[in-house]
Structure formats: C-alpha cells, structure tokens
Amino acid sequence: MIAEERSVRHLSDVGIVGAGPGGLSAAILLAASGASVDVYERQPVLGGRTRRLSLGDHHFDVGPTFFMMPYVLDEILAAAGRKLSDRVELTRLDPMYRLLLGQPEGAPITLDTTQDLARMSERLSRIEPHDGPAFLRFIADNRRKLTAMTPLLRKPIRSVLDLASLDAMRAGPHLRPWQSLYDHLKGYFRNPSIRLSMSFQSKYLGMSPFECPELFSILPFIEYEYGIWHPTGGCNALMRAMAEIAEELGVRFHTGCEVQAIDFEGCRATGVQVDGSLRRHRHVVVNADAASAMRRLVPSHLRRTWTDRRIERSRYSCSTFMLYLGLDGEVDLPHHTIYVSRSYEQNLADIATNGTLSEDPSMYVCNPAPIDPTMAPRGASSLYVLVPTPNVQPGLNHVDWHAQAPTLRERTYRQLEETFGLRDIRSRIRVERQVTPLDWQGEGIQFGATFNLAHNLGQMLHRRPQHKLQDVDGVWLVGGGTHPGSGLPVIFLSAQTTSRMLCERLGLPCAIDQAPPSSHRRSASLSAWTSPTAVT
C-alpha cells in the first residue's frame, strides 16, 4: 500500500461499479481476502443484466438463461467458505436444448441435444451417417483443447510476452487462428446443418460462426462435457445468492446509485463520484459495459490506449430484440429451444454487415415454468424470446427501431406460431415487455451490443481492455469486456483474475488461492446437484 494512501480517509479499500456477475464475484473474493468493499449499482435491484424482471406474477431473467460450468462459480464461493449447492437448487437439463435447424425447403430438422454422448452420436448419424462418429472425435479433440487452453483463460494476458510461455506453447498445437469456427468444423462434419448445430454457440459471443475464431469450438464441447443447468428462480437466483454471501462477508451495497465518474488525482484513481459527491476508495473495479464505461467514467486525456476514436471504431457484437411474455396455459416446448434460420448465412449477413432485419430471423425461446413453478403462476407460462439483431453502431445499422420494432414483433409472433408450433399464442398473452437495441443502449451498453466487444482475433487476449486498465492506476475491469470474454463462466474467470491481481496490489493473500485445487471442486460441484431431468 503506497504511503500517501495511509494519510487519506477512505470509505473502503475497493469501490465496485456494477453488481452484475463480475462485480458480485469480485466483491466476494476481495471481501473473503480481507478487503473492505462497497458496490454501486445503478438499477434498483442487483444482478446487472442478470437481474430479474417481474411482470405481475410472471418472472423472467433479463439476460443470461444458460448456466454452464457451475464449478467455476463454486470455486469463488469455496474461497468464501460457502457452497453453491447449499444456496441454489440446480437442475441438469436433458435435453440440454432443442434445435430447429431450418432447411431451404420443408420443415426444420429437429435435434434434441443430450450429454449422453452415445445417444447424441446416434441422433447425428440419423441425419448423416458419417457425422455421428465424427462427433465423438470432435468431443475427444476438444477435451484436449480445453485442457490446453484453460491456463490461458485463468491468467491475465497483458502483452505478447504473456503468450511466450510454456502454457501458450502447450495450447498452440490445438489452435488454428487462420480458420473460422465453421471452416474448422468442415474437418469433422459433412452435413451443413450439423456444422451449424456445433457452431451456433458463437452467438453466445454475439458473432457469426463464419467469422468467429476456431478456438471457440470449446463452447459446444463445454455444453456436452459439463451440461446445461437451470437454477430454480432463474439465473438471477445465482446473483441473489452471491449478494447474500457478499453481505455476510461485510460488503456494502448501494442500489439505485449511479456512478457519474471515477475521480483522479493525476492518473491515480481516488474514488467515485456519486450524486455530486466523492466517495473515496483506494481502488475502483468497473463491472459496467467496458467500452461505454471507459468513455463515461475515465477522462479522455487519461486514455492513451483506449481512446474515444479506438472505442468508436472497434468491432462489436450483435444486439438483441427481446419479448418477455406471460401466457395463460402451459407451453409444449423444452426448457431451451433454438431456431436456426433456413437462410442462416443471409440472416448473419443482415445482422453483421447489412444492418437490416431478416425476413426469416433465427430465434431462441426459454420456457422455464415446466420445471420451475417459481417463474409463473400455476397453469401459466413465462416465455423469454430473443432475436439476434444488428447493434446500433453508426454506419453499420440501417434499422429505424422506432418504426421497425412493430415489424420485427410481428415476425417474431409469426415464427412462434409457425415454427415453434404456438399457434394460439396471441390470444393467451397476459403480459408483455419488449426490449430493442435502443433500450440496451439506454442501459449504458455501447451501441446496444449486448455481448460486448466482438471476439475477433484483433480484440482477444491482450488486445481486449486489460484487467488492470491501461494508462491509469487503481482502475480494474471485470466482465465480458475484458479477457477471457463474454458468458457467465468466463465472466467469473475474469473476476478471479482481477481479484488475484488486486489482492497482490493490496498486499492481501487472495482467498481463492487458499481453497482446494480446482479439479477437486469441479468433480464435487458437478455431483452435488440433482440428476438429469427430462424437459420434453
């Protein structure tokens, strides 16, 4: 701790801007390590984009609905002497999700995915005999690939020097940076629809599989290896449990409290400006949207690396159009159902290049009520509907959302009726909430890009904003805007890395390094919850 800090009265060691999954994880780890922590959240509730939306008696996750790799969160809670299975009921899903693979002619191919690899191989073989055995080879290859990649996902990558390591050399033979994910899958699968079934996961990053780097073949592997889980109460139940644990550790939460700026003396952060007053902290951790927060919270003259010009010209993920629907009656769909457009390449081009709305958009529906009665009244349903769309980056977007949102809403209902089989859905609507990319932008998300900065090769590893923000002292990042990237598991990993680095700066042993080895936690956490549950 530097000498001049000792003479200044601070509210706490660390002020965290944002109570999303990254901010809550960092709060737990830092508090468990002995730091004093305050968390500021602009929303009236905790969770960030993983907060809960309630429309009467119908409840929804606002953002993430897929929960994977629960052992990563268990590592964080273990550092605080807690267990996830003591706080949240998790159900493993089988099928993990249903894919409706659109065809140029005729009905979509229906594929229910399962962690039973032999059964999954058989299902793929019925579509294309060659591709069932190829799936088992794909899984085996990616098991080795993830093992090799994991050390890089768990450490800061600050420059090319961090890639000149034994860990990077071990990962190197598994990577082909010149290949897209889709081209990589051509080496395994003959059927184009099966390739899409193993690459649509690039949408978790807001990217096209035709542009997404091949290293992200680990995403479908992670689903089949570790499963997909539903927390009772939705993914926000994870956030509520984390907030409770953080409060038990002494973390102070300030909700409905927007941070207007980070205060600096020279290039050293001294606290945050809230409601016109300075609240002093030795360090500030930012869990808001990285691109937007850097511009909003850090003066431009202090940002030599991430200038306004660089932020404006960076590439961003897609956005999303959302419908949250409370319905009379039950819905005959699995927990997760994903429709892949029959004109998938055109749909992706419309989103990423043309900046227009597709006639036949891909779509995702979450139907949690059949296994989770807390999400809807008895005999009713709460449907979460997501349509990937262009973001609102100037020059790349040609959608007038004020004029065209009703058009997309109508197309979405048509897809629900004709493709998802919900023919009477309009007459059953009790409550409805619509969210467009403009709404996401209004929440402080740069260009409404809900999955953050794109994960192309020019914006990965050391080319993303750093865990310790460049050019200034005392400002740290967690969340999808820094390494390793977007998605709940890797956001939790980002918080682990940032917390380790910040604890070292504070002179504290990081609690996560005092817990049992992660391999032990992994096997324990995956066996601690309920057995597979069919949702058909």
Q: Write out pLDDT tens, residues 2-39.
A: 333 444 578 899 999 999 999 999 999 999 999 999 99
User: How high is the mean pLDDT of the chain?
Assistant: 89
Confidence class for position 536, pLDDT limits 50, 70, 90: very low
Confidence class for position 194, pLDDT limits 50, 70, 90: very high
Residue of 148 and 356 predicted with greater confidence: 356
Q: Where are the domains of the chain?
A: 11-92+230-314+455-531, 117-213, 319-446
Residue 274 clears pLDDT 90, i.e. is over it: yes
Kindly report the CATH class assigned to 11-92+230-314+455-531.
alpha beta
State whether residue 79 is helix, strand or coil: helix
Residue 527 clears pLDDT 60, i.e. is over it: no
d(CA 11, CA 30): 15
State what percent of residues in the chain have pLDDT above 90. 75
pLDDT in the model for residue 526:
52
Residue of 401 and 168 predicted with greater confidence: 401
d(CA 456, CA 485): 11
Residue of 215 and 116 predicted with greater confidence: 116
The average pLDDT across 505-524 equals 73
Phi, psi of 319 (to 5 degrees): -115, -170
Picking from 206, 205, 215, 143, the residue whose alpha carbon sits closest to that of residue 179 is 215
State whether residue 397 is helix, strand or coil: coil
Those residues with Cβ within 8 angstroms of residue 406's Cβ, 6 or more apart along the chain or in another chain: none
The average pLDDT across 130-156 equals 85
Residue 89 clears pLDDT 60, i.e. is over it: yes
Helices 236-248 and 70-79 meet at what angle, rounded to 10?
10
Residue 534 clears pLDDT 50, i.e. is over it: no
pLDDT in the model for residue 524:
46
